Amino acid sequence: MQKSRREAIIAKIDGYASGQAVDAKLMQGTDFIRIRVGQCRVILDDIGTVLDVLKIGPRGDVYK
């Protein structure tokens, strides 16, 4: 993964954790949260004070 993409993903996760407005949505049929970072998607499990990053990958492949 490119350094710039990795830094953008980390910045979005940090932004979500600190309460900033990011493109985050609750996934249908699950308790997981999806954050969009360009063409990548980050799947999170928000367990109160802990964010568990479940999967990071290109859209389409990350949902499989």
CA gap 54, 32 in Å, rounded: 9
Question: CA angle, 18 as apex, 45 and 37 as ends, to 5°?
Answer: 65
- Residue 8 dihedral angles phi and psi, to the nearest 5°: -65, -40
CATH class of 3-58: alpha beta
pLDDT tens digit sequence for 12-58: 999 998 888 888 999 999 989 999 998 899 999 988 888 888 898 88
Contact 52, 38 (CB under 8 A): no
- pTM here is 0.82
